[in-house]
Amino acid sequence: HSPALKIGQKLNEGKTKQIFELVDQPGLVLVQSKDQITAGNAVRKDQMEGKAAIANKTTSCVFKLLQESGIKTAFVKQQSDTAFIAAHCEMIPIEWVCRRVATGSFLKRNPGVKEGYRFSPLKMEMFFKDDANNDPQWSEEQILEAKFSLAGLTIGKCEVDIMNRSTVAIFEILEKSWATQNCTLVDMKIEFGVNVKTQEIVLADVIDNDSWRLWPAGDRSQQKDKQVYRDLKEVTPEAMQMVKRNFEWVSERVKLLLESQSRGRVVVLMGSTSDMAHCEKIKKACTSYGIPCILRVTSAHKGPDETLRIKAEYEGDGVPTVFVAVAGRSNGLGPVMSGNTAYPVINCPPLTPDWGAQDVWSSLRMPSGLGCSTILSPDAAAQFAAQIFGLTDHLVWCKLRASMLNTWVSLKVADKKLQACSV
Ligand SMILES: Nc1ncnc2c1ncn2[C@@H]1O[C@H](COP(=O)(O)OP(=O)(O)OP(=O)(O)O)[C@@H](O)[C@H]1O
Ligand SMILES: *[C@@H]1O[C@H](CO)[C@@H](O)[C@H](O)[C@H]1NC(C)=O
Ligand SMILES: *[C@@H]1O[C@H](CO)[C@@H](O)[C@H](O)[C@H]1NC(C)=O
Ligand SMILES: CC(=O)N[C@H]1CO[C@H](CO)[C@@H](O)[C@@H]1O
Ligand SMILES: [Mg+2]
């Protein structure tokens, strides 16, 4: 640990982790991994040297990916090879399991379903964390009737719905990211906690090898997850080395999930600098998606030669580009661009109250052969550009996906508050 960190008392200890209070940082805890691997509820308890460090790397990369996407998690920062700082949570004792492909225990509980059956939408299952009873599967009603109260928050329908939706979003983000490495995310299990400071439900605990099944190229025989360990007939040093190599394979790959697979940019063309404020909004929104945005001034009416020259500049360097045309009154700019480039063009005219209803037609009614779109809000124009890049750039797609989740949760929480007030 870094010397500055004052470790307080141990709050909790499990099979794989210890949780310590941080004296100078109320509301935060230190999560320390232990150097052992467990399966079948600690029936096997072989120390695996270096496992903690590998798990650290995996957890911190996965949480970084989720956090940069906009998912609320307990993770704060990496502290050392084997420890990270997290928000102090009271953990909700439910394991949320999300499946894309049927395998493992699902097949046993659902005889007749063949391995490889694909769930669309994703299959959700909940298990009550109760070692003594082997973590029984629970229904939604059982969770509601348990009336868990954690950090002052009672787990009711609203909270269950939030965890359900969040699990799907988190799965889809990890699935999309692993797909860039030709890896199928088969299933995943996660846990949520209630942040003791904010009373928010956040993804907590860890996501590591023990949390998912990964099949490279969708091929079970190449599985790189903890199943390899569970399947070992005999725990020999060679076998443990293989498990460790597999774990290392994942922890090396997991870093690549944070890297963008494609580059792209938005070029905003404005007819005049009087539209600057409108264009700055587009740029700001693009930046929030991690998409570079360049602003240029050009008028298709007054300087068509320059408009086409600027277009050629951005067509010439091979960087995938979405053009956004911002022109008031009669929008010649977007249609001229659209008729002369194969890149997508979005019209985002800064409409004014006086003539806006008439002006908008210059962005809507096109000659044949033009496929430009028109979006009036600058934020929404940037969002649409992000959706175009999201087709090939998983990091952009993940931000869009998390934003959808967060909007859904905000509405849910706002409604819950309103209902509480009116009672
Ligand atoms: N951010 C956090 N704040 C508080 N407690 C946490 C946090 N993250 C994890 N914990 C808890 O720390 C405890 C130790 O973790 P560990 O994973 O070792 O437990 P375990 O023996 O595997 O038991 P479990 O079956 O609950 O996972 C668990 O109860 C876990 O829920
Ligand atoms: C989770 O959401 C899905 C899809 O909306 C729904 O079918 C399922 O019943 C939900 N489960 C719980 C426990 O809320
Ligand atoms: C994934 O598979 C495709 C097609 O088989 C291949 O071209 C590509 O290089 C692979 N990518 C990675 C990261 O392995
Ligand atoms: C040993 C080890 O891999 N430690 C890593 C833990 O995770 C952080 C963040 O990714 C790395 O910086 C450490 O090197
Ligand atoms: Mg655990």
- CA dist 24 and 2 (Å) reads 14
Q: Is the CB of 251 under 6 A from ligand 4?
A: no
Q: Is the CB of 10 under 6 A from ligand 1?
A: no
Q: Is the CB of 69 under 6 A from ligand 1?
A: no
Q: Do 90-233+243-256 and 265-392 have matching folds?
A: no
Q: Is the pLDDT of residue 224 over 90?
A: no
Atom 7 (ligand 1): residue with closest C-alpha? Answer: 205
Mutation test of ligand 3: which of 176, 177, 182 has the most ligand atoms closer than 8 Å to its C-beta? 182
Please name the fold of domain 90-233+243-256.
D-amino Acid Aminotransferase; Chain A, domain 1 (3.30.470)
Tokens of 157: 């329908």
pLDDT at residue 399, rounded to an integer: 98
Q: Is the pLDDT of residue 216 over 90?
A: no
Mutation test of ligand 4: which of 51, 60, 253 has the most ligand atoms closer than 8 Å to its C-beta? 60
Which atom from ligand 3 is nearest to the alpha carbon of 182? Answer: 1
Q: Give start and end residues of each alpha helix (H) in 87-226.
A: 105-109, 140-146, 157-179
* pLDDT band at 3; cut points 50, 70, 90: low
Tokens of 238: 């060679």
Q: Is the CB of 57 under 6 A from ligand 4?
A: yes
Atom 12 (ligand 3): residue with closest C-alpha? Answer: 181
Strands (DSSP E) along 205-259, which ranges? 212-216
Q: Which ligand is nearest to the CA of 258?
A: 4
3-state DSSP of 176-230: HHHHCCCEEEEEEEEEEEEECCCCCEEEECCCCHHHEEEEECCCHHHCCCCHHHH
Find the 179 Cα to ligand 1 centroid distance in Å: 29
- 315 sits in which H/E element: helix 304-315
pLDDT in tens, 39-86: 554 545 555 556 666 777 788 899 999 999 999 999 999 888 788 999
Is the CB of residue 287 less than 8 Å from the CB of residue 301?
Answer: no
pLDDT at residue 172, rounded to an integer: 98
Q: Is the pLDDT of residue 218 over 90?
A: no
Find the 152 Cα to ligand 2 centroid distance in Å: 25
Give per-residue burial for 20-37: e unless 16+ CB within 10 Å, then b: bbbeeeeebbbbbbbebb
Q: Is the pLDDT of residue 125 over 90?
A: yes
Measured in whole angstroms, how far is the alpha carbon of residue 122 from the centre of its chain?
A: 16
* pLDDT band at 415; cut points 50, 70, 90: very high
pLDDT at residue 33, rounded to an integer: 83
pLDDT at residue 11, rounded to an integer: 96
Q: Is the pLDDT of residue 37 over 90?
A: no
Average pLDDT in the 309-335 region? 97
Please tell me the class of the 265-392 domain: alpha beta
Atom 14 (ligand 4): residue with closest C-alpha? Answer: 81
Mean pLDDT, the chain, whole residue set: 92
Is the CB of residue 270 less than 8 Å from the CB of residue 296?
Answer: yes
pLDDT at residue 130, rounded to an integer: 97
pLDDT in tens, 286-319: 999 999 999 999 999 999 999 999 999 999 999 9
Q: Is the CB of 7 under 6 A from ligand 1?
A: no
The domain segmentation of the chain, as residue ranges, is 90-233+243-256, 265-392
Q: Give start and end residues of each alpha helix (H) in 354-393.
A: 356-359, 361-364, 378-390
Query: Which of 162-166, 211-215, 295-299, 306-310 bottoms out in mean pLDDT, i.e. has the lowest?
Result: 211-215
How much of the chain is helix, strand and coil, in % rounded to 5? 40, 25, 35
Q: Is the CB of 204 under 6 A from ligand 1?
A: yes
- CA dist 340 and 309 (Å) reads 11
Find the 65 Cα to ligand 3 centroid distance in Å: 21
Bridging pattern class, strands 149-150 and 153-154: antiparallel
* pLDDT band at 232; cut points 50, 70, 90: confident
- CA dist 251 and 31 (Å) reads 19
Residues with CB under 6 A from ligand 3: 181-182
Find the 393 Cα to ligand 3 centroid distance in Å: 15
Which atom from ligand 2 is nearest to the alpha carbon of 140? Answer: 13
Which atom from ligand 3 is nearest to the alpha carbon of 181? Answer: 13
Q: Is the CB of 85 under 6 A from ligand 4?
A: no
Is the CB of residue 190 less than 8 Å from the CB of residue 205?
Answer: yes
Average pLDDT in the 238-258 region? 83
Q: Is the CB of 129 under 6 A from ligand 1?
A: yes
Atom 10 (ligand 2): residue with closest C-alpha? Answer: 164
Q: Is the pLDDT of residue 244 over 80?
A: no
